[in-house]
Amino acid sequence: MNAIQVWNRGWRQVPPLSLEQLKEELQVKDGEKHVHSIAAVAANAALGGLSANAQAAQFWDYELIRGLMACAVAGSGSASPRVPLGRPATFVYAREKSLAGILEGLFLGRTYVSTGPDGPAVFMTAQVLAGDQARVGIGGVVPLHVDVLFEVGATKSAGKKIEVLLNGRPILTKIIEGDAFVQRFIQHPEVPSVYRARVIGPAENPKEGVGALDVYAMTSPIYAQDIIQELLWRQPGIDLDKLWVRIEPDRTPEVHLPEHVPPVNRRPVR
């Protein structure tokens, strides 16, 4: 699969999935319980504080750690006229505003999800700092065993927090001080790793919904891994030229793009 719906309706609105709602074959594998990601997150729900959307994001993290390369999508599930359309919404970085362009953006993992069309925007890029420098955006891959400069930011989010997760666990949390907020940090990944960012804040209506945390926007991952044949096997038809943006060394970084690669800072297409 190329995408997982990690957010449906309000972040805290939908109650969690319980183990009792799962079929037996999803609870047990080779005699061991809660091996499947969906069973693990259902078991975690018993600890409290997880909405169905928090479970979905946790399920996504578990599968990403196991090697899945799938972007995040979100939807309002507006089958009922009482449910507002486009809340949450999926944004796609695309080379053009067309069906083909948007599907390509989804396939390459270039998405972020937000509370709605007018919700916060969140971005993340990574730049290799050794040798032939390379810069990638959301959905891209950086190599292992080198220093990588990450840059995250958000708009329409002043007063909230931006959080960076590594393999599903927070490694950086900062208060967003203004509408042009940017935070940079360096990582040196030694093992396959998954980085993603999100905009969070305390629950606006603690007594309504599940959990103490509201999420306002999330990026799809940037991956750190060796670019080997296994990567191509997991992603049939992937074009390595679209994972990398080459920068000439020993110069002030300036992105040089083939025509078919969208700039990492191009305005996303809804």
DSSP letter for each residue of 76-97 = --TTSTTSPTTSSEEEE--SSS
**Average pLDDT score over the chain:** 82
Provide the pLDDT confidence category of residue 16 given band limits of 50, 70 and 90: confident
Q: Are the beta carbons of 179 and 190 closer than 8 angstroms?
A: no
pLDDT (mean) for 86-107:
93
Residue 132 is predicted with a pLDDT of 61
Cα–chain center distance at 140: 11
Mean pLDDT of 11-21: 85
Tell me the whole-structure pTM to 2 decimals. Answer: 0.82
Cα–Cα distance list, 68 to 25, 59, 75, 223, 230 (Å): 21, 11, 21, 11, 12
- The rounded distance, in Å, linking the Cα atoms of 114 and 214 is 12
| 162, pLDDT greater than 80 | yes
227 contacts: CB under 8 Å, gap ≥ 6: 141, 143, 240, 243
* Domain map (residue ranges) of the chain: 3-16+51-242
pLDDT in tens, 102-158: 999 999 999 999 999 999 999 999 998 876 667 889 999 888 999 999 999 999 999
Task: Centre a 10 Å sphere on the Cβ of residue 77 and count the other Cβ atoms it contains.
Answer: 14
